[in-house]
Amino acid sequence: MNTAHHKTTAKLGDEDKSAMLNDAVFYEILFALGVSEHEASDYCVWEHLNFSRMGHARALIAFFECSKEKRKWPDDLVCEDYGFPARPVELCQEDRNRLNKDLFHLSSSRLRHDAASKPWPNTILSCIHKRSIEFVQFILSSNCPAEIVAIKSQWQPLLDILRSGHELRIERFFDRNERDSGWRISTGRRLHLGLSELTLLTPKMSTEDGKSNGG
pLDDT tens per residue across span 73-100:
889 999 999 999 999 999 999 999 888 8
Does residue 184 carry a pLDDT above 90? yes
Q: Is residue 112 part of a domain?
A: yes
Q: Is residue 127 part of a domain?
A: yes
Structural domain including 182 reads 9-212
Cα Dmax for the chain = 67
Q: Is residue 195 part of a domain?
A: yes
More confident residue, 73 or 150: 150
Q: Provide the number of structural domains found in the chain.
A: 1
Confidence at residue 206, expressed as pLDDT on a 0 to 100 scale: 66
Q: Is residue 1 part of a domain?
A: no
Q: Is residue 32 part of a domain?
A: yes
Reduce the DSSP state of residue 29 to 3 states and report it.
helix
Q: Is residue 74 part of a domain?
A: yes
More confident residue, 106 or 139: 139
Q: Find out whether 161 and 168 touch, Cβ atoms under 8 Å.
A: yes
**If 0-12 CB within 10 Å is exposed, 13-18 middle and 19+ buried, where does residue 23 land?**
exposed
Torsion sign over Cα 207, 209, 212, 215: negative
Report the Cα 29 to chain-centroid distance in Å: 4
What pTM was computed for the model? 0.88
Q: Is residue 191 part of a domain?
A: yes
Q: Which of 109-118, 121-130, 194-203 has the lowest mean pLDDT?
A: 109-118
Q: In what order do the strands lie in the sheet with 184-190?
A: 34-36, 166-171, 184-190
Confidence at residue 1, expressed as pLDDT on a 0 to 100 scale: 39
